[in-house]
Amino acid sequence: MTASVTQISPSSPSSPRPFHHPQPESALHCGKVSLETLAKRHGTPLYVYSADQIVERLAIFQEALAGREHLVCYAVKANSALAILKLLASCGAGFDIVSGGELERVLAVAPEAAGRVVFSGAGKTLAEIDRALTAGILQFNVESEAELEVLAARAAKLKTKARFALRVNPDVFAETHPYISTGLREHKFGIDIRRALGIYKSVAGNRWLEPYGVSVHIGSQIRSAEPFGAAIERVSKLVRQLKREGIALQVVDAGGGLGIDYHAGHFDAAAKVREYAEAVENALEGFEGRLLIEPGRFLVAQAGALVARVLYVKRNGKKTFVITDAAMNDLIRPALYQAHHEIAPVRPRAGRPRIVDVVGPVCESGDFFARDRKLAPIEPGDLVAILDAGAYGMAQSSNYNTRPRPAEVLVEGSKARLIRRRETMADLLWPETFTVEG
């Protein structure tokens, strides 16, 4: 099956993407900046992000939840660029981290945001726990009884109280890719919600642990609000049970996972957030505490594109391959998740669309961005934009085939600034040694 040719119209407040053609014959722009200009200045492959859309998406969540005390904790794993973290911190966002490295990134750009950090993840090390305790983060999302024991021991050693939330597993099915579904009993994440009451009660008297909240996260790229509501209903029941036992939690952490539309067509982000917020709020009826949410992809995915240059157009029997200078090491989602990304010529050519595979130069048959895709005519030297690449693009990139990772540019209105230079071969070789001893 082939997709229709990607059509990108002039931007508007309701447009799902910041990439557009200001005039029918002009090059594709991010905001007011031409991608041709950026590619000429910084080379390709090149990640380009819209700061304006990231701020706009954050504001949509903040407005939808305005009726309740809340904190939007950006999921750093989606895109950990320092400039993006700084931008979000300046707008009042908190942060959901899953490693000590992500904590250091937040602290590097916004040390004052430590108290807005929640630490998730099933395998926190002793060093990571100690660093988070000394930094004074808001909450640990604890994923096992063993982790809770370690957290208590480290807090006692450092003589500081640790605020924690058990990440409960509500056994709610979310229709998404199996690699990013996390809410069922067979997944490695969380604690069976039926066991949570007993665990909270067992540590209620520990002087170094503060039962502060309860956390849930059922998966990622979930397009319907219904699974979120179902999960929070089960969490709300637990919160009421705990209150009857004298354990009054202050926070419900609803996790993240709200999905976007990676295909062409209309996508009303504000309406999706309102639907999500209503489902969560209805399920929280009677809870007067603070709500935390952890969106990542929804804030940054559609704000970003990977710009690549076409190297060759190769015809092999009935197949036509468009070979670009970007590859699976730059954006692995199509190879890893069989994910769909719209692909748009930066300056469209006239002519009939063709069915092509868009691929990279990495020595793997899995190195592709699109298969059997209907695209407008593309020739060697042309630029293409792989859309919706702001989340899990650069964050999952690698140096496979000893390929330097791309540069990154952040566009704010009519201004563009380099926020990460392109890696050099010296960068890649620097950590290694080839000296033979003996």
Both tokens of 96, joined, read 């959901």
Q: For residues 375-393, give the mean pLDDT.
A: 97
Q: Is residue 339, in this structure, part of any structural domain at all?
A: yes
**pLDDT for residue 428 is more than 50:** yes
- Coil, strand or helix: which one is 109? helix
User: Minimal CA–CA distance to 293: which of 92, 133, 62, 135?
Assistant: 62
Kindly state whether residue 327 falls inside one of the protein's structural domains: yes
181 — pLDDT class (breaks 50, 70, 90): very low
Query: Could you tell me if 288 and 342 lie in one domain?
Result: no
What letter represents residue 151's amino acid? L
Three-state SS for 172?
Answer: coil
**How many domains, in total, are found in the chain?**
2
Q: What is the per-residue pLDDT across 206-222, written as a single tens digit (0 to 9) for each?
A: 999 999 999 999 988 99
Instruction: Classify residue 12: in a domain, yes or no.
Output: no
Q: Does 321 lie in the same domain as 214?
A: no
Q: Which residues are catalytic?
A: 363
The predicted pLDDT at position 435 comes to 84
Residue 315, classified by CB atoms within 10 Å of its CB into exposed (0-12), middle (13-18) or buried (19+), is exposed
C-beta of residue 233 within 8 angstroms of C-beta of residue 226:
no
Which of these three, 296, 317, 344, is where a domain ends? 296
Query: Which residues, including other chains, have CB under 8 Å from residue 437's CB and lie 6 or more apart?
Result: none
Residue 7: the pLDDT is: 61
Domain limits for position 88: 51-296
Please check whether residue 336 lies inside any domain of the structure: yes
Q: 357 vs 220, 318, 393, CA distance in Å? A: 27, 11, 20
- CATH number of the domain at 373, please: 2.40.37.10
Are 256 and 344 contained in the same domain? no
Whole-number Å distance between alpha carbons of 344 and 26: 13
Q: Indicate whether 234 and 89 sit together in one domain.
A: yes
268 and 166 co-located in one domain: yes
Question: 40 Cβ partners below 8 Å, 6+ apart?
Answer: none
List the one residue out of 262, 269, 228 whose CA is nearest residue 55.
269
Tell whether 288 and 362 lie within a shared domain: no
If asked whether residues 91 and 160 sit together in one domain, one would say yes
Angstrom distance (rounded) from CA 398 to CA 342: 22
| Length of the chain measured in residues | 438
In a domain, 1, yes or no: no
Boundary-marking domain end, from 245, 274, 296: 296
Mapping DSSP to helix (H, G, I), strand (E, B) and coil, where does residue 423 land?
coil
Same structural domain for residues 140 and 189? yes
Last residue of a domain, one of 296, 313, 335: 296
Token pair 């400039």: residue: 83
The pLDDT score that the predictor gives to residue 114 is 98
Q: What is the pTM of this model?
A: 0.94
Could you give the CA distance from residue 333 to residue 326 in angstroms, rounded to a whole number? Answer: 13
pLDDT digits (tens, 9 = 90+) for 391-427: 999 999 999 999 999 999 999 999 999 999 999 999 9
**pLDDT, the chain, mean:** 93
| 3-class SS shares of the chain: helix, strand, coil, % to 5 | 30, 25, 45
Q: Are residues 292 and 308 part of one domain?
A: no
What is the rounded distance in angstroms from the CA atom of residue 377 to the CA atom of residue 204?
66
